[in-house]
Amino acid sequence: MSEEGFEVHGPHDHELEHAGAHGGEQSMTSQIAMFTAIIATFGAIFGYMAGATQADAGLFKNNAAIIKTEASNQWNYYQSKSSKQNLWELALDVAPKSRTEFYTTEIARYKAEKAEIKKGAEKLEADAKEWEERSEHQMHNHHQWALATTILQVCVALAAIALLTRKSWLQKGMYGVGALGLIMGVVAYMHI
């Protein structure tokens, strides 16, 4: 300040005066910017979770397919044992009496082997079904995370429009859509 009573303002002083005149707009801009940063952070986390659950669902589906193949192999093995048992039963009908004991023993052996093979194949089928169910559950959870992420992306777009238009109703809508996205994220997290 000079002695003659006139002042020279710096750029910072000018910005402070400008902010005072437009304090409401600055406040709205700051609120939207902060909200957008928070929503974008949650959106990134939700997007990661959507990808992770989708990858898990694919892995579980793959495990089910591998186990189904093993079960199919066991059923084929069971069928081959059945065929051999049938051949021994046929041989028993046409063989001389001196060979009856041998064929009867072989038939009993194949029946016992088939019972074990059948038990193993049924267990593999049950395991495959469990992996299928786990895969379906993960895909359901993936869709919830993806929906939450999409809603938050819409919220960020609304925030940009609210900043450009300075419409308070868009700002309120942005908060509502953001809340909905966060609620959907909580639903996905809780596996509902």
Q: Give residues with Cβ within 8 angstroms of 103, minimum separation 6.
A: 88, 89, 91, 92, 95
DSSP letters, 18-32, are HHHHTHHHHHHHHHH
pTM (predicted TM-score): 0.71
What residue has token string 């959507």? 50
CB 57 within 8 A of CB 135: yes
Q: What is the per-residue pLDDT for 192?
A: 84
Q: What is the per-residue pLDDT for 9?
A: 58
Task: Give the span between the Cα atoms of 108 and 88, in whole angstroms.
Answer: 10
Q: What is the per-residue pLDDT for 172?
A: 93
Q: What is the per-residue pLDDT for 7?
A: 65
Burial 132-170 (b: 16+ CB within 10 A, else e): bebbeebbebbebbbbbbbbbbbbbebbeebbeeeeeeb
Mean pLDDT, 10 residues at a time, the chain of 192 residues: 59 51 69 93 96 96 97 96 92 87 92 95 96 96 97 95 91 95 95 86
- As a dihedral over the C-alpha atoms of residue 161, residue 163, residue 169, residue 171, rounded to 10 degrees, the angle is 100
